[in-house]
Amino acid sequence: MLGLLRQKIGSGTSSAMILGQSRQLIRPAVSALRNYSSAVKEMTVRDALNSALDEEMSADPKVFLMGEEVGEYQGAYKITKGLLDKYGPDRVLDTPITEAGFTGIGVGAAYYGLRPVVEFMTFNFSMQAIDHIINSAAKSNYMSAGQISVPIVFRGPNGAAAGVGAQHSQCYASWYASCPGLKVLAPYSSEDARGLMKAAIRDPDPVVFLENELLYGESFPVSAEALDSSFCLPIGKAKIEREGKDVTITAFSKMVGYALKAAEILAKEGISAEVINLRSIRPLDRATINTSVRKTNRLVTVEEGLPQHGVGAEIWFASLLNLFSVLIVTRYLSLHTLHSSVFL
């Protein structure tokens, strides 16, 4: 990576030219709005992430990985297994234990048109690098109205795992989702992980990619379409995992599994629950949520974050605002019809 960067700078190529070339190499995301049902194999979330990284590195030489133990050790959770042997140390970089240092290098490389994927061994450690994530990557993109492209992915396990302390168990979805200039994704299934990782790498904006350590070894059915190298899920689009008519349940990451189990229990009691897998925390698919709540008139949000100022609070506010606006319009139309009838 450093060799490629020096080569770009040394050749006298301007940053604007490099950014322009990088935009030409951005492959358009293949819209995956349809529901894929033709499952052909089972795949773990770990393998889904690994295959997505492998294919994107193969397709675009500007994509490279960096982080602690991503190379020689094959990744702390084996997400980057085999990639060092395939792409070499210039594109799979083992870094010192200094999140602030290697994140800053990654953001600088993104400024010059490369497409870094920065791994945090746990997202709790991203606090060491939050200045670069927020002030360097996110705000440069936001304050320039997207004119400064920062195509970087910050990824790693988020939330609570098994047998770890409170300082290693935080969910950062609401933290990063509150920051303009960032996109925040949280996959649940293998198809989510594969399609959203590809979308994140191809995106011209900085993306925070929140995985879950306890899901890495979970297997999910993967469709034939999702195994294609061109497969890519749209950022900002939720998925209805289970349709229902009595109550809407929204969740993301590992909590989707709990929501689906709750829906099964409710079904035995005659309650039909609709489960929405958010996938994207920022941007949030408000349209899908609002449509569901207008149908069910009930909303339950599930997340593993802190109880105050969470993702659920944003969903509740948006849903209530939408329902109130519908009620106001309905009331206005009914009064308008009444006055028209009296006048006639």
Task: Give the CA distances from residue 38 to residues 90, 193, 244, in Å, rounded to whole numbers and listed in that order.
Answer: 38, 18, 22
- Cβ-contact 61, 206 below 8 angstroms: no
- Cβ-contact 94, 1 below 8 angstroms: no
- Range 83-102 burial, b when 16+ CB lie within 10 A, else e: bbeebeeebbbbbeeebeeb
Question: Is 56 part of the annotated catalytic residue set?
Answer: no
CA–CA dist 105, 191 (Å, integer):
31
Question: Is 119 part of the annotated catalytic residue set?
Answer: no
DSSP bridge partners of 153 = 117, 207
- Cβ-contact 150, 182 below 8 angstroms: no
CA–CA dist 194, 205 (Å, integer):
18
Phi first, then psi: what are they for 181, rounded to 5°? 100, -15
Position 149, amino acid: S
DSSP notation for 40-94: EEEEEHHHHHHHHHHHHHHH-TTEEEEETTSSTT--TTSTTTTHHHHH-TTTEEE
Sign of the CA dihedral with 113 first, then 132, 50, and 195 last? negative
The secondary element (H helix, E strand) that includes residue 247 is strand 247-251
From the CB of residue 58, how many other CB atoms can be counted at a distance below 10 Å? 12
From the list 55, 56, 99, 213, the catalytic residue is 99
Q: Two tokens at 246?
A: 């009595």
CA angle 48, 84, 113 (to 5 degrees): 80
Q: How many CA atoms lie within 13 A of 163 on its CB side?
A: 0
Residues that are catalytic: 99, 168
